[in-house]
């Protein structure tokens, strides 16, 4: 039985692109994962589109960073372990 090689969905890191420390954090994450994690600013055109597609209108995603892996989102401190996992995955892939 042959396994089909489906392309892996890259995780997305949504961060506050108006915050200097947040932007440095996102840059470090992108470089550490060798580009595996797609970093997108919350207030860019693409970030606004992703927010409207992923989050409900009552949600407040602007309070912290979000790691979106498939249809699951990890925000803030709860996203640190999944973020570390995805950084390692980026180094291996």
Q: Are 82 and 74 spatial neighbours (Cβ–Cβ below 8 Å)? A: yes
Can you give the pLDDT at residue 7? 56
Burial 52-88 (b: 16+ CB within 10 A, else e): eeebeeeeebeebbbbbbeeebbbeeebeeebeebbe
**Which is more confident, 7 or 26?**
26
Domain ranges across the chain: 12-92
pLDDT exceeds 60 at position 2: no
CATH of domain 12-92: 3.40.30
Give the sheet arrangement for strand 72-75, strand by strand: 38-41, 12-15, 66-69, 72-75
pLDDT in tens, 33-42: 999 999 999 9
């Amino acid at each position: 039985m042959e396994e089909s090689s489906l392309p892996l969905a890259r995780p997305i890191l949504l961060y506050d692109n108006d915050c200097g420390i947040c932007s440095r954090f996102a840059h470090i994450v992108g470089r550490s994962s060798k580009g595996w994690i797609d970093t997108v600013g919350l207030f860019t055109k693409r970030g606004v589109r992703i927010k409207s597609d992923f989050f409900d209108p009552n949600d407040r995603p602007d309070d912290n960073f979000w790691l979106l892996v498939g249809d699951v989102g990890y925000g803030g401190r709860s996203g640190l372990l999944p973020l570390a996992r995805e950084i390692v995955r980026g180094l291996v892939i």
